[in-house]
Structure 1
Amino acid sequence: MPVPASVQSLLQTRNVAYDLATTPFNDDDRRLIWHDQHLRNMSAAKSLILQDGQGRVQVIISADRLLDLKAVNRQLGRELQATSLEDIRKFCDSHQLDSIPALPKLAGLQTLVDKSLMDRNELLLDSGSEEQLVRIDRSEFEQILEGATLCDISVPLAPLEVDDLNTSDQDQILGAVRNFTQLRVKQRLEETLELPPLSDTAQRIIKLRVNPNADISDLAQIVETDPSLAAQVVSWAASPYYSAPGKIKSIHDAIVRVLGFDMVLNLSLGLSLGKTMTIPKEGPHGTLPYWQQAVFMAATIEGLVTAIPRDHRPSFGMAYLCGLLHNFGYLILAEVFPPYFHAYCEMADANPHVTHQAIERHLVGVTREQLASTLMSLWSMPEEVVVGLRHQNNPNFQGEYSQYAKLIFVAQRLLHQHNIGHGPKLEIPQSVFDDLHLDPEKAQQTVQNILESSDDLKHIAHELSPKH
């Protein structure tokens, strides 16, 4: 849509001279570049809304910077947090906006403006439309700052997005633990992180994976010894998503009639590992959103693998397991760094335009992907999973098993583009599709199929999430 009428009226009322910068089309598919990505590419100013018991505050920063929530609260002496996405959508819908315009004093809100914006002779601002940005001179921007507060409330994103491959993940993780606990680092990573031991069920399934003579009865026996896991697997197989004829009465039924040996093996392993860690049960960062994301990712990756020509397909089972475990590092963050996990949740809510890796490097010094892949390696998990989890955010990774990492990358970005999961909407480079031998149109169709089955998948996730 063009620049919203309310924004045009506001600019005219304040007698601001401006022009418009139209969002270009992507060369690959002639679609508009994703708004989050275009704002970032152009270092445009974006607006964020925070709130506490005293009311709401508007914050304007550059889209290529991370909002430092603690700096905002120090500046104002408050305990502000991000306004919920539902309330932001209601605000945008009521004013016929695609996004919150980066104009100070919007709707009369108290406004903080990051000082770094004033280093520019010309500024691009989010106009509230995904099709156009507002371009104004700094002098014009200064005119509309009356009543707003200029302060240092952000840090550059670029250094936080650099993946240090010259230092081992173990050294980086140990360094982060050392920095935050001030304890002498123990010799073994498992001891240092004080992680709960791998469950007996998970250990038995890992051993079963490498047993060439393993059969259905061996797997069913292991799963049936864990009543909670058995109930989850049967519930998964009985879900409307699989439309299995008749009632699923046992693990044997689930394996033979619906899911197959490979999927039940990997599903059971993923579920048993997930129960190893604990995170808050309630809220937008609790167990239900975690399992919803895991289920949607596993199903999406399952569909993407199907869309790849048979000669180039990776292992279905491994790809599915990677999807189920792709966010396992999130559980580790909650288990190992509880105070920083809480800070992460607040920062993530306040920075919806920023990837989680940048926030984690800012707060902890390492990312969830580094934690997860290191732990998977220590637990003797398949190398496909170790590599897939570690490099899932690196579209240029070309090492062995890179297909698994790129499948996670594609699935996650596709789901974000449809508002599933937490993170900015970003493009998928054509080179990633090429490396996977995956047709972008077939990938989009896969996600459409997932969206049509979203109620069924949410039901599965609800059954996986602890109730009490």
Structure 2
Amino acid sequence: MSVPTSVQSLLNKQNVHYQVSEVPVNENERALWHDQHLRTMSAAKSVILQDGKGRVQVIFSADRLLDLKAVNRQLSRELHAAKPEDIQKFCVSHNLQSIPALPKLAGLLTLIDRSLVERNELLADSGDDKQLLRFSREEFQQIIDDATICDIAVPLEPLEIDDTSSSDSDQILGAVRNFTQLRVKQRLEETLELPPLSDTAQRIIKLRVNPNADISDLAQIVETDPSLAAQVVSWAASPYYSAPGKIKSIHDAIVRVLGFDMVLNLALGLSLGKAMTIPKEGPHGALPYWQQAVYMAATIEGLVTAIPRDHRPSFGMAYLCGLLHNFGYLILAEVFPPYFHNYCELADTNPHVDHQAVERHLLGVTREQLGAALMSLWSMPEEVVVGLRQQCNPHYQ
């Protein structure tokens, strides 16, 4: 496929010379591959922002994070990312697969990050997944005459480094101090103002370390919480487990389907989830919290099954890690409400950026650090604490 006609027309109209650079394409993961290639090549990418006054185009390097606050300060506006469905309509109407990194697209006001204009040669998104545009500095200068050049993006690489030079607690306290502007030394749980563990969760944790605990002890705890009991029975009765006959009680769920270890960890994960309020807002396209938790838990259960039996971890413990893997997301929403709103907007503006980089840019701490710290404070098993903390670290051993 050649460069899109609308892009050719725009460049020809301005009498701009350009070259085309072919892109290797992974057909199975087209959008993901496109973003990764732009990042690898440090190519220019484009996003469309909007507010009540209209739309604005912003062009910056794919190896940077677009600072939405800097954009809004520059224009004295309250811009946010355009909705994915609006972007899709825009692309379809102009026969594009992505937004080309070219100023004046559809006559939009354009901002360009200063780092791009300082390069001797520039690769840019052409609007076609299989092509990148290549410009010399002089050629790129030709097409940006009417655009506003400003500092609106920050390098991604420093934000992607998991800093182990200081403890998670120190980093979390630093984030809280920056948030509150209070320079007071308090214990972590007091500073974070997090809710205490529910009675059900406390009883389950005690049961975990009781070597004499049996099925009746666990069933009794779960049955005292009607909503938790209903969830456990519903879980056991789901088609996923294909249990014969009806599941009529917690005892049935434990003995016939899930087992003691699984129900104990499932009940613990569900009861911990109730300690936090599920946020109503979130980044575009993000799965609801519990749906994502269940998907991850089921995926981990499948992975554990694939591990040789001699090296296989506990099903229940692995399932619990899956249920709680995104618990730090709830903490972000609970403890830092204004920052959580900013996080959602910044994540929408930078869909090419991992959530950890966005969180470090805003707060200096990630959801994985917050989740692991709280699990430690709540005396959760070490496997859960480490699992939550290191889940995004492929090099952890």
- Check whether TM > 0.5: yes
In the alignment of these two chains, the number of paired residues is 396
Give, in angstroms, the shift of residue 284 of structure 1. 4.8
Deviates more, 1:272-281 or 1:89-98: 89-98
1:11 aligns with 2:26: no
Structure number with larger C-alpha Rg: 2
Q: Which amino acid letter does the alignment assign opposite residue 14 of structure 2?
A: R
Give, in angstroms, the shift of residue 219 of structure 1. 1.6
Give the distance between the partners of 1:107 and 1:372, measured in 2 at CA. 44
Give, in angstroms, the shift of residue 323 of structure 1. 1.5
Taking structure 1 as reference, are residues 257 and 78 closer, same or farther at Cα in structure 2, changes over 3 Å only? same
Say if 1:98 and 1:130, in contact at 8 Å, map to a contact too.
Answer: yes
Say if 2:283 and 2:348, in contact at 8 Å, map to a contact too.
Answer: no
Instruction: Could you list the structure 1 runs, at least 4 aligned residues long, displaced by more than 6 angstroms after superposition.
Output: 29-33, 285-288
Say if 2:279 and 2:330, in contact at 8 Å, map to a contact too.
Answer: no
Residue 330 (structure 1) aligns with: 329
Taking structure 1 as reference, are residues 31 and 66 closer, same or farther at Cα in structure 2, changes over 3 Å only? closer
Say if 2:265 and 2:320, in contact at 8 Å, map to a contact too.
Answer: yes
Give the distance between the partners of 1:349 and 1:314, measured in 2 at CA. 36
Give the distance between the partners of 1:36 and 1:370, measured in 2 at CA. 27
Task: State the SS of the aligned residue for 2:65.
Answer: strand
Q: Which amino acid letter does the alignment assign opposite residue 228 of structure 1?
A: S
Say if 1:374 and 1:386, in contact at 8 Å, map to a contact too.
Answer: yes
Taking structure 1 as reference, are residues 222 and 97 closer, same or farther at Cα in structure 2, changes over 3 Å only? farther
RMSD across aligned positions (CA)? 2.4
Give the distance between the partners of 1:34 and 1:232, measured in 2 at CA. 39
Task: State the SS of the aligned residue for 2:396.
Answer: coil
Task: State the SS of the aligned residue for 1:89.
Answer: helix
Give the distance between the partners of 1:160 and 1:283, measured in 2 at CA. 21
Residue 338 (structure 2) aligns with: 339
Give runs of aligned pairs for residues 168-179 of structure 1, distance below 5 A.
Answer: 168-179=167-178
Say if 2:284 and 2:348, in contact at 8 Å, map to a contact too.
Answer: no
Taking structure 1 as reference, are residues 154 and 195 closer, same or farther at Cα in structure 2, changes over 3 Å only? same
Give the distance between the partners of 2:151 and 2:395, measured in 1 at CA. 34
Deviates more, 1:219-228 or 1:93-102: 93-102
Residue 257 (structure 1) aligns with: 256
Give runs of aligned pairs for residues 60-459 of structure 1, distance below 5 A.
Answer: 60-282=59-281, 284=283, 289-398=288-397
Identity %: 82
Deviates more, 1:99-108 or 1:37-46: 99-108
Say if 1:281 and 1:288, in contact at 8 Å, map to a contact too.
Answer: no
Task: State the SS of the aligned residue for 1:34.
Answer: helix
Residue 45 (structure 1) aligns with: 44
Give the distance between the partners of 1:262 and 1:96, measured in 2 at CA. 54
Give, in angstroms, the shift of residue 225 of structure 1. 0.9
Task: State the SS of the aligned residue for 1:71.
Answer: helix
Say if 1:280 and 1:286, in contact at 8 Å, map to a contact too.
Answer: no
Give, in angstroms, the shift of residue 48 of structure 1. 1.0
Say if 1:279 and 1:286, in contact at 8 Å, map to a contact too.
Answer: no
TM-score (norm 1): 0.79
TM-score (norm 2): 0.92
Give, in angstroms, the shift of residue 233 of structure 1. 2.0
- Where does structure 1 lack aligned partners over 5 or more consecutive residues? 399-468
Deviations 1:41-91 (A, max 9, x none): 111111111111122211111111111111111111111111122222333
